[in-house]
A and B are shown apart, each in its own frame.
Chain A
């Protein structure tokens, strides 16, 4: 419960909330709002009546409170707005029940739970607007004059209720689900109690010294695309590909989204040692080919795995195309470029050593509670499309392992009218 103190960081609060379960929109701290006339006596009142010691924003330069620098206090007063934020533990220790405070104290206007605020609130209805837009594009491309245009002409018009990415990869019509296949997701972790993942076969390990619970969001989103549920609750579209694969969650990126020491290398080693068939790495570093990654990729191929990695998002097309980052630039690791809904190369998608392409713009998938779902863009989102499809192929034919699986993914990809340095073999396609 360390994440409920006044000095807890947002990440600590969020992780503690996810671990508590229930209503994870609450931080566990409380907000006491005082009546305007009581602002000046609020702190003494909290001390006198409830034994609560509060710091004050006035103690900080410019009243810019730094929460993790609040020491030995139960809460902090924000005198300009007449509000005190109280740590959850202190609140309960001192038996400050919300209703009794507001009723018994003339000075208090209300006592409320503190809630998280997120930048990525997504309304499913907004996503559906995007789907309608995609359908309009498809309809336009079915016109005779559009015969030569690189559009999603293969998608049956009747297909609804799936993301544009899954439709473009022919996932809904595939008879495979990744059953019997293990997919390692090396990322920021997973929201293990997300309702769409409850009951799934999941193994996990953290290589960054933090719990594997995802508080960043990236890992839950990529895992959702590669291995998410086939039937999420309406009105959410299907967004997951290998819905029955076993998931190996390797937390190799910290809660802030950065690798720690040799965390990525350790995660790759772990996935190989545990017999996974596919390793998905939606991450990228700058710089030249790293021999350690190349060696790891070679070891994986030799043992029947394919490592699939994001090419990176450093381009500003059409003017500037940045080179594929590491580890995707290693010859033994499959690199993935990103496409948009019109099957055009995404403006940010890196180029050079590209092996295949996947949907990577406005990709709908899972997010940690309480958001549950949202859209993201990047080669990070294209990569799990390829990883999920790889799991389907691995299920379809037990001889498709390692280099054979790599070749199959490329030979079955939908050809696109762009250089191989931009899209590789083309858009990944699921087995039928």
Chain B
């Protein structure tokens, strides 16, 4: 109830305590596994270290994401994008 009321009041931009999944893009000048260990220290739970694409998938709150953005070598922190193809039998897919 509280959350929906805040949303209604336009307060949804306020960082929440919800845990989200983040796609963290990292630069080439820092070893990715070193960064992953720093993420853990920052309070994130590392789900997947994608060395080929230099992306780390991690979970944490908005506050954790803000801390990740401050780590040297982190280029971007965005919520993991969602994609779909529609339900089975969709007219257009």
Of A295, A313, A378, chain B has the most CB atoms within 10 Å of the CB of A295
Which bucket holds chain B's interface residue count? 20 to 34
Given contacts A218-B93, A262-B47, A291-B75, contact A296 B53 (CB under 8 A): yes
Select the stretch in B2-10, B35-43, B82-90 that faces chain A: B82-90
Known: A218-B93, A291-B25, A291-B78. A283 touches B85 (CB 8 A): yes
A256–B82 CA distance with the chains assembled, in angstroms? 13
9 A-B pairs with CB atoms under 8 Å apart are A216-B88, A259-B84, A265-B57, A269-B51, A293-B81, A296-B55, A299-B53, A327-B83, A378-B93
Task: Give the A-binding residues of B (Cβ under 8 A).
Answer: 21, 23-25, 47-48, 50-55, 57, 75-76, 78, 80-93
Is B52 touching A377 in the complex (CB atoms < 8 A)?
Answer: no
Given contacts A217-B88, A290-B23, A292-B25, contact A285 B50 (CB under 8 A): no
A 254-272 to B, binary, CB cutoff 8 A, 1 in contact else 0: 0011110110111011001
Residues in chain A within 8 A of chain B (CB atoms): 118-120, 187-188, 215-218, 221, 253, 256-259, 261-262, 264-266, 268-269, 272-273, 282-285, 287, 290-296, 299-300, 303, 313, 325-327, 348, 376-378, 380-381
Q: Give which listed residue, A256, A259, A299, A303, contacts B83 with CB less than 8 A.
A: A259
Residues of chain B contacted by A294 (CB below 8 angstroms): 25
Select which of A187, A217, A325 is within 8 A of B89 by beta carbon.
A217
Ranked nearest first, the 9 interchain pairs of A and B with the lowest CB-CB distance are: A262-B57, A292-B23, A291-B76, A269-B50, A296-B53, A285-B83, A119-B89, A272-B52, A378-B93
Find chain B residues with CB under 8 A from A221 CB.
93
Complex-state Cα separation, A261 to B89, whole angstroms: 24
The answer for the CA separation of A266 and B57 in the assembled complex, in Å, is 9
* CA gap between A245 and B80 in the complex, in Å: 31
Q: Are A257 and B25 in contact (CB under 8 A)?
A: no
State whether B50 touches A265 (Cβ < 8 A): yes
Minimal beta-carbon separation of A205 from chain B (angstroms): 13
Query: Are B80's CB and A295's CB within 8 A?
Result: no
A75 and B88 CA atoms in complex are apart in Å by: 27
- Closest Cβ of chain A to B57, distance in Å, is 4
Q: A182 → chain B, closest Cβ, in Å?
A: 14
- Determine the distance from Cα of A282 to Cα of B86 in the docked complex, in whole angstroms: 11
A422 smallest CB distance to B (angstroms) = 17
The reply to whether B21 and A262 contact each other, CB–CB distance below 8 Å, is yes
Known A216-B88, A256-B87; contact A326-B53, beta-carbon cutoff 8 A: no
What is the distance, in angstroms, from B83's C-beta to the closest C-beta of chain A?
A: 4
Bound complex: CA of A326 vs CA of B83, how far in Å? 8
Residue contact A266 to B83, C-beta cutoff 8 Å: no
Residues of A within 8 A of B50 (CB): 262, 265-266, 268-269, 296
